[in-house]
Structure 1
Amino acid sequence: MKQSDVPQGNAFRKPQLSFWQIWNMCFGFLGIQFGFALQNANVSRIFQTLGADMDTLPGLWIAAPLTGLIVQPIVGYLSDRTWTRLGRRRPYFVAGAVLASGALLLFPNVPVLWMAAGLLWILDASINISMEPFRAFVGDQLPVRQRASGYAMQSFFIGIGAVVASALPYVLAKYGIANTAGPGEVPDTVRYAFYAGGAVLLLAIGWTVLRTREYPPETLHAWDEAPPLARRTREAGIVRRNAAIWLAIGIAGIALVALRGWDRQLYVFAGLITAYGLALLLRSGMRGEGAFTHIMDDLYDMPPTMRQLAVVQFFSWFALFAMWIYTTGAVTSVHFGSTDTTSAAYNEGANWVGVLFAAYNGFAALAAVLIPWMVKRWGLRLSHLVNATLGGLGLLSFAVIRDPQWLLLSMVGVGFAWASILSLPYALLSDSVPAQKMGVYMGIFNFFIVIPQLVAASLLGVLLKLFFGSHPIYALVIGGVSLIVAGLCVLRVREPARQPAVATANS
C-alpha cells in the first residue's frame, strides 16, 4: 500500500481505513493462525506418539506460554522503538514468519520426545515474534472507532486459517494419505499438514508486509486518542518489601514440592511466583534505562482497564489451554474408546478432534462477522459476556454428549467465545493505551494470557490425578466453568473516557 492509498482526513485525526485496507493489514493472521492451529490440534498427538503419557502433557506444553511470557513484551518494547524503511512492526512480521515456517517443516520429523519439546519452544517463540506486533499494528493503524472491527477482522482470518489447518490431516486421510504409522512415528497426514502450514504462514504474512504501510511515530503521537497514563508513586523500600514477600512464597512453595514429593509440575507454579519476586527485587536496585526497567515500570503503571481485563483474561485462557491440551485425550478415550496411539480408533478420534477444532474456528469466523453488530447493539462488555457463556456451555457439554458427531454443536459456542476473546478485550485495551507504548502494553497484556496457561500446566494434571482419576474429560468441564466466570468478570471492566486528538504534531 502506498501513502497515496491512505484516506486523508483531518491533519491531526487518524483517518479511517477502507474495508480492503483493513483486510490487507489483517491477512497475515491467516498464516499465523494456520501454524498456531496445527500446533494446538496436533502437538499433544505428536507428544503421545513419541511416548508421553497423559500426566506429563501439561508440562511438555509449558513451552508455549513460557516463550510468550518472555518474547512478547520484549518484542513489543523493541517494536515501539523501531523505525526502518520497512516500518515499525513489519520487520518483526518477517523475522517471525521465516523462523516459524522453518520450525513447522522440522516439527513432524523429530525422532524423540525431548527434541519435540525443544522444537515447540522455537516454534512458539517464532509465532509470538510475528503475532505480538500484529496486535499493536491494529492499534497503530486504526482510529478508536474502527478498532473493534479491526480486531474482529483478525478473528475472521484466525478462524479461516484454523479451519483449514485443523481439518487438514482429516482431509488428507480422506484422499488416501496414510493416517497411521509405526510406534514413535508421526503419520503422513500430520507430516504433510505441517509442510503446508510452513508455506501458508510465510505467504500470508508476506502479503501483509507488501500490501500495507505504517505511520511514522511522530504522526501516531499527534493522532493519539488515549487518556494519559497516571504514574504511580514508587518507593524503593515498598518495592523491596513486596519482592521479599513474593520470593518467600515462591521459595517456600518450591521447598514444599521437594520435601513432600508433590507432583513436579507444581515447580512451575512456585517458580513463576519466585521469578516475579526476583524481577521486583532486580528492578528496585536498578537506576539506569533499559528494556527491563521500562517493561517493569510500564507493568507497574498499567492502565486501570488492563488491570480489570487481567482477571477476564486469566479465566478465559485457563479454559482454552485446558481445551487444547485435553480434547484429544478426552475425545479419543470417551467418544472413540481408545488410548492406544497406534490403533485405528485412536487416530480416527484424533483426526476428529482436528475437525472439531476446525469447526470452532469456522464458527469463530462467522462470529467475527457478527461481533461488530453485537457491539453496536449491546456494547463491548455484554457482547463478551454472551460469547464467553456460550463457550463455557459448549465445553461443559462434552461431558454429556456421547455421539462424537454432536460435538460439532458444542463447537458453536466455543467458536463464538474464541472470536470474542481474540477481539473484544483488545478493543477495550487499545482504547486506553497511548500510541508510543502500544507495542509494549500489548506484550504486557500477553502476561495475562500466559500466566493462566502456566497455572493450567502446573495444576490441571495434579487436579485430574487427585480428584478425577486422570480422566481428561473433566479438564474440559473445569474449562467450561472457567469461561463462564470470565464472562461475568468482564462486567467489572470500565471503558476508558475518550480524549480529544492532540492539536499539534509537535505536542
Structure 2
Amino acid sequence: MTGAQRSRTTAPSRHAAAPPPPPQGRRVPLRRLLRVASVACGVQFGWALQLSLLTPYVQELGIPHEFASLVWLCGPLSGLLVQPLVGHLSDRVAGPLGRRRPFIVGGAAAIAAAVLTIGFSADIGRALGDPVGKRPRAVVVYLIGFWLLDVGNNTTQGPCRALLGDLTGKDQRRTRIANAYFSLFMALGNILGFAAGSYSGWFTIFPFTVTSACGVNCANLKSVFLLDTILLAFTTYISVTAVQEVPEPSGHQLPNSIEGTQQLNIGEEAFLWELMGSFRYLTWSVWIVLIVTALTWVGWFPFFLFDTDWMGREIYKGNPGEGQNYHNGVRMGAFALMLNSVVLGFTSVILEKLCKKWGAGLVWGVSNILMSFCFLAMLIITSIAKSTDYTPNGLPPDGIVVAALVVFAILGAPLAITYSIPYAMISTRIESLRLGQGLAMGILNLAIVIPQMLISLGSGPWDQLFGGGNSPSFAVAAAAAFFSGLVAIIGLPRSYIARTRGHR
C-alpha cells in the first residue's frame, strides 16, 4: 500500500486523537505573547548582519560577484527542508518542555555556533593552511557557517511563530497582534544589527579580534557576531521562560476538505507524504496567500542579496578589496537598513489598526505596489549616479546618498507587512483546517524559499548578462512586487477578508 493510500484510511488507531486546541476559557496575556516573540530580536540581529555584511565579505574572501548569490542558495535549500520538517516534528513532540521550545533553544544554539564560525573563518582558514593572499579554506569554513546559520534561523523562527499560533488559537485579532509583536522584535533586531554593522570601530573595542589573517574589516565583522551571541542568549531565555507549554499527545487529524467529515489518520505517515498531501486540503483563500507570498519574495530577495553591495558599487562606485569607497558604501547601506528597520518597527505598531480599517488584503497589496515603486526608484538613482561626475575624493553627491537613504527607509513599511500579514493569514486559516501550526508555517515557508532558490540561481548570471551590476535583478523585483500587489488587492479581499470578518 502506498503512502498516499495509507493516508486515506479511516480505521481508528492509537494515534487518532488530534492535539487539543489551546484552552478557550483562558487567554494568554498580551505581555506573555510579547515575551515569546522577543527571540526574534536576537535572531534578526544576526540576520541583519548577514544581510548587510556577508555579501561584501564573501567577495573579499575571493568569490566573484556573479557567484555571490549562489552562496545564498543555502538559505532557501535549508528552508525548503528544515522548516517544514521542524514544523512537522514540533506539532508532534511530547515532552516536559513542550512541543515548540526545544526547537527554539536548539535553533538558537545553532545560530550562535554559526556566527562564531563565520566570524573566525579567516583565522580558521589560516590555521588550516591558507597561504597569504589566498583563502580557499576560509571560504569553505565560511560556507559551513553560512549554511548552519540558515538552518538555525529556520529551526528557531518556525516553531516560535507556531507557538504564537498555539497561544492565540482562532482569535484572529490576537493572532495578528502576536505576529505584529514578532515583526516589531524583528525590527528592533534589525535596528541593532544594522547599527552595529554601520559602525567601523568595533576592532578598537575588541582589539583581540585583529589578527594576521583578519584585518580591520574582518575584525569588525567578528566583533559584531560576538555581540550577537550575547543578545541571542538573552532573548532566547526571555522567550522560552514566558509560558509553560502543555505537553501534547502525538498524532494528528486532517479533515477532508471536500467531504467535510472523513477523518484522515496521518500519525504514522512519512513527513514528505504528509507535507505534499496537505496541499489537497488547502482552500482557495490559502492558495491566494501562498501565490502572493511567492511573488512578494521574488521582489524582496534581490534586495536582501544586494542592498549594501548596490550602495557600495552603484552609489559609491567602489569594488570589494579596492580602496575604501566600497566599504564606505557598505557601511552607509547598513545605516540605510537601520532607517528601514525604524520604519518597519513603527509600521508594526500601527499595522493592526490599518488592517482593521482597510482589510489585510488591501494593506498587503498596496504595500507591495509601494515596494515596486521603491525598486524602480533605485533603478533611477543608479542611472543618475552613472551619469554624474563625483568629487575628487570619490564620494557621491549628498543628494544621491539622501535619495538612496529615503528609498531604503520607505521600504521598511512593506517589509513589516511581509513579516506579519502572511503568517497571520495562514495561521488563522490553517487553524480551522486542523493541519497544525507547525506544518502551516512549513507550508508558507515553501512559498518563500522556492522563489529564493530561483533568485539565488539566476540573479548573478542575470546581472552579469547585462553588465555586472545589480540593476537587472532589481528590475525583476519591481515587476514581481507590482504583480503581487495586484493579485492581493483583487484576490484577497474576497477570498480572505470577507470570511474572517464573518468569524469574529
Same fold flag (TM > 0.5): yes
Q: C-alpha offsets along residues 18-48 of structure 1, whole Å, 9 cap, x if unaligned? A: 3312211111111111121111112102211
Asked if residue 122 in structure 1 is aligned to residue 186 in structure 2, the reply is: no
Paired with 1:293 and 1:21, the residues of 2 have a C-alpha distance of 35
Asked if residue 472 in structure 1 is aligned to residue 453 in structure 2, the reply is: no
Partner of 1:256: none
User: Letter of the aligned partner of 1:128 in structure 2?
Assistant: N
TM-score normalised per structure 1: 0.79
DSSP 3-state at the match of 2:257: coil
Asked if residue 200 in structure 1 is aligned to residue 228 in structure 2, the reply is: no
DSSP 3-state at the match of 1:400: helix
Paired with 2:483 and 2:177, the residues of 1 have a C-alpha distance of 25
Which of 286, 292, 300 aligns to 2:272? It is 292
User: Letter of the aligned partner of 1:25 in structure 2?
Assistant: V
Paired with 1:419 and 1:25, the residues of 2 have a C-alpha distance of 18
Q: After TM superposition, give the deviation of residue 350 of structure 1 in Å.
A: 1.0
Cα distance change, pair 461–231 in 1 and its aligned pair in 2 (3 A): farther
Paired with 2:23 and 2:139, the residues of 1 have a C-alpha distance of 55
Partner of 2:436: 437
User: Letter of the aligned partner of 1:118 in structure 2?
Assistant: I
Paired with 1:337 and 1:182, the residues of 2 have a C-alpha distance of 29
Which of 257, 279, 288 aligns to 1:230? It is 257
Contact 2:203 2:210 in 1 (8 A): no
Contact 1:327 1:473 in 2 (8 A): no
DSSP 3-state at the match of 1:446: helix
User: Letter of the aligned partner of 2:257 in structure 1?
Assistant: A
Paired with 2:23 and 2:255, the residues of 1 have a C-alpha distance of 17
Contact 2:97 2:247 in 1 (8 A): no
User: Letter of the aligned partner of 2:485 in structure 1?
Assistant: G
Q: After TM superposition, give the deviation of residue 103 of structure 1 in Å.
A: 1.1
Q: After TM superposition, give the deviation of residue 191 of structure 1 in Å.
A: 1.3
Partner of 1:350: 330
Cα distance change, pair 500–436 in 1 and its aligned pair in 2 (3 A): farther
DSSP 3-state at the match of 2:485: helix
Contact 1:180 1:342 in 2 (8 A): no
Contact 1:16 1:146 in 2 (8 A): no
Which of 147, 153, 158 aligns to 2:186? It is 158
User: Letter of the aligned partner of 1:308 in structure 2?
Assistant: I
Paired with 1:423 and 1:321, the residues of 2 have a C-alpha distance of 17
Paired with 2:211 and 2:371, the residues of 1 have a C-alpha distance of 34
Which deviates the most, 175-184 or 341-350?
Answer: 175-184
Question: Superposition pairs for residues 10-409 of structure 1, below 5 Å?
Answer: 13=24, 15-111=26-122, 112-142=138-168, 143-173=171-201, 186-217=217-248, 230=257, 289-401=269-381, 402=385, 403-409=400-406
Contact 2:183 2:345 in 1 (8 A): yes
Cα distance change, pair 461–14 in 1 and its aligned pair in 2 (3 A): farther
Paired with 2:212 and 2:479, the residues of 1 have a C-alpha distance of 38
User: Letter of the aligned partner of 1:125 in structure 2?
Assistant: V
Which of 423, 426, 444 aligns to 1:426? It is 423
Q: After TM superposition, give the deviation of residue 180 of structure 1 in Å.
A: 10
Paired with 1:409 and 1:23, the residues of 2 have a C-alpha distance of 30
TM-score normalised per structure 2: 0.79
Q: How many residues align?
A: 433
DSSP 3-state at the match of 1:214: coil
Paired with 1:499 and 1:51, the residues of 2 have a C-alpha distance of 54
Q: After TM superposition, give the deviation of residue 114 of structure 1 in Å.
A: 2.5
C-alpha RMSD over aligned residues: 3.0
Paired with 1:189 and 1:134, the residues of 2 have a C-alpha distance of 30
Q: After TM superposition, give the deviation of residue 293 of structure 1 in Å.
A: 2.0
Contact 1:138 1:147 in 2 (8 A): yes
Paired with 1:383 and 1:145, the residues of 2 have a C-alpha distance of 15
Partner of 1:495: 496
DSSP 3-state at the match of 1:377: helix
Q: After TM superposition, give the deviation of residue 89 of structure 1 in Å.
A: 0.5
Partner of 1:463: 462
Unaligned runs of 5+ in 1: 1-9, 234-285, 502-507
Which deviates the most, 197-206 or 177-186?
Answer: 177-186
Cα distance change, pair 294–288 in 1 and its aligned pair in 2 (3 A): same
Paired with 2:269 and 2:320, the residues of 1 have a C-alpha distance of 55
DSSP 3-state at the match of 2:425: helix
Q: After TM superposition, give the deviation of residue 499 of structure 1 in Å.
A: 11
Paired with 2:404 and 2:183, the residues of 1 have a C-alpha distance of 22
Paired with 1:483 and 1:196, the residues of 2 have a C-alpha distance of 34
Paired with 2:454 and 2:191, the residues of 1 have a C-alpha distance of 28
Partner of 1:448: 447
Paired with 1:328 and 1:412, the residues of 2 have a C-alpha distance of 14
Contact 2:96 2:247 in 1 (8 A): no
Paired with 1:395 and 1:11, the residues of 2 have a C-alpha distance of 42
Q: C-alpha offsets along residues 135-184 of structure 1, whole Å, 9 cap, x if unaligned? A: 21121111222111111111100001011111203234389569999898
Paired with 2:358 and 2:372, the residues of 1 have a C-alpha distance of 20
Cα distance change, pair 18–348 in 1 and its aligned pair in 2 (3 A): same
Paired with 2:287 and 2:174, the residues of 1 have a C-alpha distance of 23
DSSP 3-state at the match of 1:431: helix
Paired with 1:288 and 1:157, the residues of 2 have a C-alpha distance of 37
Q: Percent same amino acid among aligned pairs?
A: 23
Cα distance change, pair 288–355 in 1 and its aligned pair in 2 (3 A): same
Cα distance change, pair 12–164 in 1 and its aligned pair in 2 (3 A): closer
Q: After TM superposition, give the deviation of residue 405 of structure 1 in Å.
A: 2.8
Q: After TM superposition, give the deviation of residue 299 of structure 1 in Å.
A: 3.3
Paired with 2:35 and 2:424, the residues of 1 have a C-alpha distance of 19
Paired with 2:441 and 2:335, the residues of 1 have a C-alpha distance of 31
DSSP 3-state at the match of 2:63: coil
Contact 2:49 2:197 in 1 (8 A): no
Cα distance change, pair 41–180 in 1 and its aligned pair in 2 (3 A): farther
Q: C-alpha offsets along residues 423-443 of structure 1, whole Å, 9 cap, x if unaligned? A: 111111111113551111211
Cα distance change, pair 500–16 in 1 and its aligned pair in 2 (3 A): farther
DSSP 3-state at the match of 2:94: coil
Q: After TM superposition, give the deviation of residue 353 of structure 1 in Å.
A: 1.4
Paired with 1:347 and 1:157, the residues of 2 have a C-alpha distance of 28
